[in-house]
Amino acid sequence: MIEGRCHCGRVRFHVSDTIETALECNCSICIRLGTIWGYSLIENVTIKSPPDGTIAYSRDQKNIAFHSCKNCGCTTHWEHLKPKADSKMAFNLRLSDPAILNSIRIRRFDGADTWSFIGE
Ligand SMILES: [Zn+2]
């Protein structure tokens, strides 16, 4: 089980899953957000937020939406805008207990250029 919350606590996520790796991506948005993503199937991830509690931002392709707390600005998760049965959701492990990131492997993903993992 993994939990996380934005700085003000209005937006929270709860993941009924365990993860062994996280992903740090250098694409144009992730590098600006400073996120480290954990992933799980959509059915495992619960987002608790007030109505309209987040701002959703989509890149040009509009495949996924990045959500940030409207009050404190922390990026909490992203979701597929056209999810399939096996689609995953990503949650920002920077908002979770730091012990989680200390206990799992963080894989670096070259989303800026080669679209592959770096150093693997
Ligand atoms: Zn907040």
- Centre of ligand 1 to C-alpha 17, Å, is 23
Supply the pTM of this predicted model: 0.94
Whole-angstrom CA distances from 113 to 59, 89, 108, 120 are 16, 23, 12, 16
Beta bridge partners of 4: 13, 96
Average pLDDT, the chain: 95
pLDDT value at 120 more than 90:
no
Other CB atoms within a 10 A radius of the CB of residue 106 amount to 13
Q: Would the pLDDT of 119 be above 90?
A: no
Q: Six-digit token pair at 64?
A: 């996924």
| Local confidence band at 3 (pLDDT 50, 70, 90 cut-offs) | very high
CATH topology of domain 2-115: 2.170.150
Output the pLDDT for position 20.
94
In this prediction, residue 42 has a pLDDT band, given cuts at 50, 70 and 90, of very high
**Beta-strand relationship, 105-109 and 88-92:** unpaired
Q: State the distance from the centre of ligand 1 to the C-alpha of 93, rounded, in angstroms.
A: 15
Expressed in angstroms and rounded, the spacing between residue 70 Cα and the centre of ligand 1 is 7
Q: Where are the domains of the chain?
A: 2-115
Residue 60: per-residue pLDDT: 79
Q: How far is the CA of 113 from the centre of ligand 1 (A)?
A: 32
Per-residue pLDDT of 58-113, as tens digits, reads 987 789 999 999 999 999 999 999 999 899 999 999 999 999 999 999 999 999 99
